[in-house]
Amino acid sequence: MKEAGDGEASESNEDDGEEEEERGGEGLGGGERRGEEWEIDPSKLVIKGVIARGTYGTVHRGIYDGHDVAVKLLDWGQEGTRTEAEIAKLRDDFLLEVSIWQKLDHPNVATFMGAATGVRDLSIQTENGNLVVPNNVCCLVVEYLPGGTLKSFLIKNRRRKLPFKVVVQLALDLARGLSYLHSKKTVHRDVKTENMLLDKMRTVKITDFGVARIEAQNPNDMTGETGTLGYMAPEVLNGNPYNHKCDVYSFGICLWEIYCCDMPYPDLSFTEITSAVVRQNLRPEIPRCCPSSLATVMKRCWDATPEKRPEMNEVVTMLEAIDTSKGGE
């Protein structure tokens, strides 16, 4: 899966965000902790080799109760290496991710299997025997998706590009997943091809809900730079209030990336991108060979004005209306 530090998945929640955070806080507190419905039985979990590393841990292949899974292990360091406040924040973030992800159920969202907090006596199988996992680790278990990230798939196809039919299918998978999230009042906040995984049938599944949030009733409650440069909407880059339309903007960039099999703004620095996107309305250059039906979706999604961007269910309808039988070379 993707970077462990960023979080892998999130569940969708129809309740209000504060309620979720309060519920989550019970899970890691200290002495007394009642079992949560999402808690797994660690004795049924077999952890294998690392498939990704992140800021606060690692992602491993594994088996849980007979299923192939990806296991994100979050390790907050030995005692004394982090402050109590830092550990509390990491735990709250972990529980918020779990609380969001566990409620999601959609073909284009990676399936959440369960999680465990403060686990002891876990071990990782290696060729040289078992490694003991540090005590107090939290783990998050999701379905294993063998196709890797959408980003790596696009990079592999950079030279020859993808058939137009495949472009539209990948885009539809992502659009349907995001439309579902938004219907559950969930804002992903870090939509990028690196956070999308492919199953063996090349179906796109959204993952990494580490910074996802339940959408605030008041947009002023959602501010701050969250996301990945290149995919971040102007209002987010500017530090202005934002809502789920920031995901729509990011989808527009992903759509361009899927069509072009290329990365947005490869030669620009952080400062240059921020300034140009916000002040000069910089967007990736759409190739002339791109069918106008697809180019229109890109442009509408990455409009500088959030209110002018379509809802994701509208994007699904627009993509479904595209005739892929004529190619689009």
Q: What is the pLDDT along the chain (329 residues), one digit of tens a residue?
A: 443 334 333 333 334 433 333 333 333 333 334 457 898 888 888 889 888 887 667 899 999 999 999 998 887 665 557 777 877 888 888 888 899 999 999 999 999 999 988 666 666 776 666 666 666 678 899 999 999 999 999 999 999 899 999 999 999 999 999 999 999 999 998 999 999 999 999 999 999 877 777 776 555 545 455 678 899 999 998 888 889 999 999 999 999 999 999 999 989 988 899 999 999 999 999 999 999 999 999 999 999 999 999 999 999 999 999 988 865 44
Task: Write down the pLDDT at residue 201.
Answer: 96
CA 288/CA 304 separation, integer angstroms: 22
Query: Tokens at residue 193, please?
Result: 């091809």
**Contact present, 57 and 73 (Cβ < 8 Å):** yes
Query: Tokens at residue 83, please?
Result: 């402050």
CA 29/CA 21 separation, integer angstroms: 13
CATH topology of domain 150-320: Transferase(Phosphotransferase); domain 1 (1.10.510)
Report phi then psi at 16, rounded to 5: -85, 150
Q: Count of CB atoms within 10 A of residue 146's CB?
A: 10
| Residues carrying an active site annotation | 190
Angle between helices 164-183 and 312-320 (to 10 degrees): 150
**Contact present, 1 and 72 (Cβ < 8 Å):** yes
Report phi then psi at 295, rounded to 5: -60, -35
Task: Write down the pLDDT at residue 154.
Answer: 97
Query: Tokens at residue 78, please?
Result: 């030995």
CA 57/CA 53 separation, integer angstroms: 6
Indicate the length of the chain as a whole number.
329
CATH number of 17-143: 3.30.200.20
CA 43/CA 1 separation, integer angstroms: 22
* Calculated CA dihedral for residues 91, 105, 301, 267, nearest 10 degrees: 50
**Contact present, 44 and 64 (Cβ < 8 Å):** yes
CA 50/CA 204 separation, integer angstroms: 22
Whole-prediction pTM value? 0.82
How many helices (H) and strands (E) are present in the chain, helices listed first? 9, 11
CA 147/CA 201 separation, integer angstroms: 8
Q: Where are the domains of the chain?
A: 17-143, 150-320
Q: Are strands 137-143 and 213-214 parallel, antiparallel or unpaired?
A: unpaired
Among residues 262, 323, 258, the alpha carbon closest in space to that of 291 is found at: 323
Q: Count of CB atoms within 10 A of residue 8's CB?
A: 27
CA 143/CA 114 separation, integer angstroms: 10
- Which residue in the block uniquely carries the two structure tokens 């199953």? 199
